[in-house]
């Protein structure tokens, strides 16, 4: 019985481990790559711990500019979609019950339409409109920020509306009537009664809208014009080869998110505690912690995290991985050297084997052993020379093969089986 | 008290689609009156109140406040304040902000509002609780805040939609007297809605009894209790024993009814039916439990019914005795508790007597369903 419980606990533990690993693993790995000095985002081989990618990030004009664009577009989208979503949700509560579900379907449709279609249709629509209205409207209607805000808002407003509808369902329209009855105008009733009630929903809809806008790619890719957003810029970067400064950016975003979540939790707990104190149900006890941290683990974590971030930042100012990098560089050069030698050896062996073979008994295959890259059936892709050039990125001039060098290590098994066994070779060489 | 602002409903009809919620309402409410609309749930009381306060327009007819036609005047422009059935306190505002909301929208300063709120909080015996939220108050306290909030708007007419229905009995009785006191102090017109007839009778100067959108009777508490205009009013207001039958003879304002089960019964024709009720008409006679008494030697001038005691209920100051009349007709009679032992009479045949002036006969009609 007891062991059964243990087994199921264990299974649950393992399941959770896998689940969270699946969920958070990629983020963790990505964050780690931001601190590895390797030029390509990677964790292993681990070269040097470094902050240089953050430097690279902060000096990358295009990334910084795209973040700025994303923020501007995000804010624009928040304003537009919250306003549209709120209006749409209010109309939903007002429309005739008979039409409500039809209206709802229409309003919700943009969520179901692919973002690509929304992007294209936005561009096409405003392009047409600017043609009708003449060149005066051109500057605005072809402006990437304008188009992107509009394009994204078409479906983000629907998300916002869903949030508002959920909140409005708990609203007592009698409150608005009470306000009117007490002499408020409709505007006053809206501003003083309904809007404060909707405030939490407005806050969450804003966050939702901003995040949805920030991460949007499908729609934006058609509308951004001369104002690429972060997602667009990242996608372009990936196309031309990336470096870990993107991981650094991801790491910053992850940290900010966690920070935000914990701050929210700390604030929530603080409020709960205040309520408990007010009702006299708060546990009384002595603690070394200051008041706002007591019984609020989130606040404690928040403070610890702030410390950690400040420490790391401070350390980043003085820490220099130069020495380590130098060592890694040396190691790498040695490694390259070794590889080159290996290849040279292999080539030499082959040449000798060819010579030994004499008349061409293998037909065309013997051609490949002649060492000329040009007539290789693989078009030189596997040419050792190419390989050297690649693996030696930034490791200095590639050395030319030196035929007189002696073999160092045993070559790998050759596709020709034992015919070209190095053992045979020695005998031949002795001839 | 005739200096208050009166309210008139002039041939008001209110329809929702095909459904008629209020039918031909003609009501005159004197300024400074405590006027009640009494009726069962769903009879259209709230609808009438919403028409007076301006939340809906009558489909036909006019609403007049202080003699002025209110057509086209919105709720925020009418000199009325409504206390909602569910109170509708603003949940996110503190009590003092709730109370002085009507001043806020007129642009009063915080200091002014604070001062007025303190006065009103004193009046409703909630001193020093102005900084709480509505959710932190008890039901009765919320009730009083709603009243203070409405009074703060200084309306000429205060409309109250069953404001006491959510309270327990004790608090309700307390609030009744308190409301009545407030009304007498401020001297404005109160229009009060309730489905509790006790409430209507204790507080009101005048009562309108409604049935499914129709106003059956308007009058003082005594009028509707003692001289109900219709069978519905007779059965809805207070308890009544009903006897059905046909009119056999009419003499002035008295009639002799051949009842279906209890023989010939003599009763007074209710004032509104005098001249209308004819011999041979289907009729109903009502007699209150407290108007029935045990017959004794000196009651020759009274009408009589014989009945058998079925059971009795002790109610503290009185007993309710349930009897079975001749034709199996059930009756209820109430006897003051004078120390007698009514159980002893269980199963006995009794002869009951009543004053003809206390028995009301009227054309047969719909009864209030219990
Ligand atoms: N907006 C509306 N649309 C359609 N019918 C309505 C509407 N408002 C009220 N009614 C109907 O009108 C009738 C009277 O409603 P009203 O709210 O006036 O009842 P009430 O007398 O206040 O009842 P209660 O004592 O239960 O509050 C009810 O049958 C109700 O269904
Ligand atoms: Mg009602």
| CATH number, position A72 | 1.10.3720.10
* Cross-chain Cβ contact B55/A177 below 8 Å: yes
In three-state secondary structure terms, B125 is coil
- DSSP letter assigned to residue A287: -
**pLDDT of residue B11 exceeding 50:** yes
SS3 A377: coil
What's the rounded mean pLDDT across residues A280-289?
61
Size of interface A-B (CB pairs under 8 A): 58
- Structure-block tokens of residue A379: 């078009």
pLDDT tens digits, residue range B155-188?
Answer: 999 999 988 877 778 878 888 888 888 888 888 9
Contact call for B101 and A180, based on CB within 8 A: no
* CA–CA separation, A186 and B75 (whole Å): 10
pLDDT, mean of residues B275-280: 85
pLDDT tier at A286, thresholds 50, 70, 90: low
Task: Please indicate, yes or no, if residue A90 is contained in any of the structural domains.
Answer: yes
B47/A77 Cα distance (integer angstroms): 43
What are the pocket residues of ligand 1 if the criterion is a CB atom closer than 6 Å to any ligand atom?
B 16, 19, 21, 39, 41-47, 85, 195
pLDDT for A285 equals 57
Task: Output the average pLDDT for chain B.
Answer: 87
- Is residue A412 included in any domain, yes or no? no
Do residue B76 and residue A184 have CB atoms under 8 angstroms apart? yes
Three-class SS of residue B209?
strand
Q: Give the pLDDT score at B370.
A: 56
* C-alpha to C-alpha distance for B141 and B124, rounded to whole angstroms: 8
- Evaluate whether residue A418 is within a structural domain: no
pLDDT in tens, A64-86: 899 999 999 999 999 999 999 99
User: Can you name the residues that pair with B81 across neighbouring β-strands?
Assistant: B158
Q: Is residue A350 part of a domain?
A: no
Q: How far is B101 from chain A (nearest CA, A)?
A: 7
CB–CB contact B82 A181 (8 Å):
yes
Chain B residues with beta carbon closer than 8 angstroms to that of A193: 90
Whether residue A184 lies inside any domain: the answer is yes
Contacts of A179 in chain B (CB under 8 A): 90, 101, 105
**The pTM of the whole model exceeds 0.80:** no
Determine which of B75, B134, B152 to mutate to test the interface with A (most A C-beta atoms within 10 Å): B75
Residue A146 in any domain: the answer is: yes
Report how far residue A321's alpha carbon sits from residue A327's, in angstroms, rounded to the nearest whole number.
10
Give yes or no for B135 touching A (CB within 8 A).
no
Better-predicted residue by pLDDT, A317 or A35: A35
| pLDDT at residue B342, rounded to an integer | 66
A398 vs B360, which has greater pLDDT?
A: B360
A224 in any annotated domain:
yes
Q: What is the pLDDT of residue A304?
A: 87
Whole-number pLDDT of residue A38 = 78
How many other β-carbons are positioned within 10 Å of the β-carbon of residue A339?
A: 15
Task: For chain B, list the strands marked E by DSSP.
Answer: 7-16, 19-29, 34-38, 60-65, 68-69, 80-83, 157-161, 189-194, 206-211, 214-219, 241-251, 254-259, 264-269, 282-287, 293-294, 303-314, 318-325, 330-336, 349-354, 360-363
* Cβ neighbours, 10 Å, residue B140: 18
How far apart are alpha carbons B53 and B55 in whole angstroms? 6
More confident call, B326 vs A229: A229
Distance B167 CA to ligand 1 centre (A): 22
- A406 CB-near residues (< 8 Å, 6+ apart): none
ipTM of model: 0.81
Query: Within 10 A of A223 (CB to CB), how many other CB atoms are there?
Result: 28
Ligand 1, residues B14, B19, B20, B21: which to mutate, most atoms within 8 A of Cβ?
A: B21
Pair B302, B355: CB distance under 8 Å = yes
Residues in Cβ contact with B59 at an 8 Å cutoff, skipping those fewer than 6 apart = B13, B14, B15
Omega before A387 within 30 of 0, i.e. cis:
no
Task: Confirm or reject contact between B300 and chain A (CB < 8 A).
Answer: no
- Please tell me which of the candidates B75, B90, B92 has its beta carbon nearest to residue A181: B75
Do the Cβ atoms of A185 and B104 come within 8 Å? no
Where do we find the tokens 């990358």? A60
Contact check, Cβ <8 Å, B101/A179: yes
* Distance from C-alpha of B309 to C-alpha of A211, rounded to nearest angstrom: 79
Position in ligand 1 atom list of the atom nearest CA B195: 25
Determine contact: A97 vs chain B, CB below 8 A. Answer: no
Around A262, how many Cα atoms within 13 Å sit in the side-chain half-sphere? 17
Number of domains, chain A: 1
What separation, in Å, do the N-terminal and C-terminal C-alpha atoms of chain B show? Answer: 37
Q: Which domain holds residue A196?
A: 57-243
What is the pLDDT, as a whole number, of residue A2? 67
Model pLDDT, residue B298: 63
Model confidence at A393: pLDDT above 60: no
**Residue (of A110, A113, A103) closest to A153 by Cα position:** A110
- What own/partner pairs with CB < 8 Å and gap ≥ 24 does B177-181 have? B178/B144, B179/B147, B179/B203, B180/B34
| A431 pLDDT higher than 70 | no
Q: Does residue A321 lie within any of the structural domains?
A: no
**How many angstroms separate the alpha carbon of residue B38 from the centre of ligand 1?**
14
Please state the atom number of ligand 1 nearest to the C-alpha of residue B45.
21
Cβ(B31)–Cβ(B1) below 8 Å: yes
């Amino acid at each position: 019985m007891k062991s059964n419980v243990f087994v199921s606990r264990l299974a649950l533990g393992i399941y959770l481990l896998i689940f969270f690993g699946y969920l958070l693993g990629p983020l963790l790995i990505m964050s780690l790559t931001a601190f590895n000095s390797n030029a390509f985002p990677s964790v292993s081989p681990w070269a040097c711990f470094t902050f240089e990618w953050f430097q690279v990030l902060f000096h990358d004009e295009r990334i910084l500019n795209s973040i700025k664009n994303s923020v501007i577009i995000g804010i624009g989208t928040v304003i537009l979609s919250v306003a549209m979503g709120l209006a749409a949700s209010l109309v939903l509560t007002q429309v005739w019950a008979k039409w409500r579900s039809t209206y709802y379907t229409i309003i919700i449709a943009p969520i179901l339409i692919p973002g690509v279609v929304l992007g294209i249709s936005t561009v096409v629509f405003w392009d047409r409109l600017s043609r009708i209205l003449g060149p005066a409207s051109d500057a605005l209607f072809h402006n990437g920020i304008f188009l992107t805000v509009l394009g994204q808002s078409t479906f983000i407003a629907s998300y916002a509306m869903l949030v508002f509808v959920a909140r409005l369902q708990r609203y007592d329209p009698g409150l608005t009537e009470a306000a009117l009855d007490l002499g408020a105008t409709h505007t006053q009733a809206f501003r003083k009664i309904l809007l404060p009630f909707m405030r939490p929903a407005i806050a969450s809809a804003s966050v939702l809208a901003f995040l949805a806008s920030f991460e949007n790619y499908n729609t934006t890719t058609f509308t951004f014009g001369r104002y690429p957003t972060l997602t667009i810029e990242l996608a372009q970067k990936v196309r031309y080869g990336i470096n870990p400064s993107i991981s650094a950016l991801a790491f910053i975003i992850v940290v900010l998110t966690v920070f935000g979540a914990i701050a929210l939790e700390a604030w929530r707990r603080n409020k709960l505690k205040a309520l408990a104190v007010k009702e006299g149900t708060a546990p009384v006890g002595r603690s070394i912690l200051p008041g706002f941290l007591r019984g609020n683990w989130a606040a404690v974590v928040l403070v610890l995290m702030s410390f950690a971030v400040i420490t790391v930042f401070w350390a980043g100012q003085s820490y220099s991985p130069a020495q380590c990098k130098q060592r890694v560089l040396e190691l790498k050069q040695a490694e390259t050297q070794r590889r080159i030698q290996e290849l040279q050896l292999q080539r030499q062996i082959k040449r000798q084997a060819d010579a030994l073979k004499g008349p061409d008994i293998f037909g065309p295959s013997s051609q490949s052993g002649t060492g000329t890259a040009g007539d290789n059936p693989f078009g030189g892709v596997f040419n050792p020379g190419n390989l050297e050039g690649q693996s030696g990125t930034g490791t200095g001039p590639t050395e030319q093969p030196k035929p007189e060098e002696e073999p160092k290590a045993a070559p790998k098994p050759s596709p020709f089986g034992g015919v070209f066994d190095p053992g045979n070779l020695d005998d031949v060489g002795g001839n | 008290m005739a200096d208050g602002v009166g309210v008139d409903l002039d041939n008001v009809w209110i329809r929702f689609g095909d459904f008629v919620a209020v039918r031909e309402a003609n009501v005159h409410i004197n300024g400074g009156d405590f006027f009640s609309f009494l009726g069962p749930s769903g009879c259209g009381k709230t609808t009438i109140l919403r028409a007076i306060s301006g939340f809906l327009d009558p489909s036909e007819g006019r609403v007049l406040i202080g003699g002025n036609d209110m057509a086209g005047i919105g709720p925020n422009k009418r000199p009325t304040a409504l206390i909602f059935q569910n109170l509708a306190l603003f949940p996110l505002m503190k009590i003092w902000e709730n109370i002085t909301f009507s001043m806020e929208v007129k642009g009063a300063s915080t200091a002014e509002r604070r001062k007025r709120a303190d006065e009103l909080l004193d009046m409703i015996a909630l001193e020093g609780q102005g900084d709480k939220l509505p959710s932190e108050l008890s039901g009765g306290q919320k009730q009083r805040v709603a009243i203070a909030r409405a009074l703060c708007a200084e309306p000429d007419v205060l409309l109250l939609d069953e404001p006491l229905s959510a309270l327990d009995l004790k608090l309700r009785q307390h609030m009744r007297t308190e409301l009545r006191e407030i009304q007498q102090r401020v001297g404005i017109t109160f229009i009060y809605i309730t489905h509790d007839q006790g409430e209507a009778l204790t507080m009101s100067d005048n009562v309108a009894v409604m049935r499914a959108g129709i106003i059956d009777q308007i009058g003082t508490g005594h009028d509707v209790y003692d001289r109900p205009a219709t069978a519905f009013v007779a059965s809805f207001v207070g308890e009544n024993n009903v006897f059905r039958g046909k009119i056999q003879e009419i003499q002035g304002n008295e009639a002799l009814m051949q009842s279906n089960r209890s023989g010939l019964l003599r009763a007074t024709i209710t004032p509104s039916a005098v001249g209308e009720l004819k011999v041979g008409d289907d009729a109903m006679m009502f007699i209150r439990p407290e108007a029935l008494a045990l017959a004794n030697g000196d009651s020759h001038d009274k009408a009589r019914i014989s009945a058998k005691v079925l059971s009795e209920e002790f109610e503290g100051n009185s007993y309710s005795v349930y009897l079975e009349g001749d034709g199996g007709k059930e009756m209820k009679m109430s006897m003051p508790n004078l120390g007698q032992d009514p159980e002893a009479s269980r199963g006995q045949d009794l002869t009951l007597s009543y004053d003809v002036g206390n028995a009301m006969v009227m054309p047969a009609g719909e009864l209030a369903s219990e």
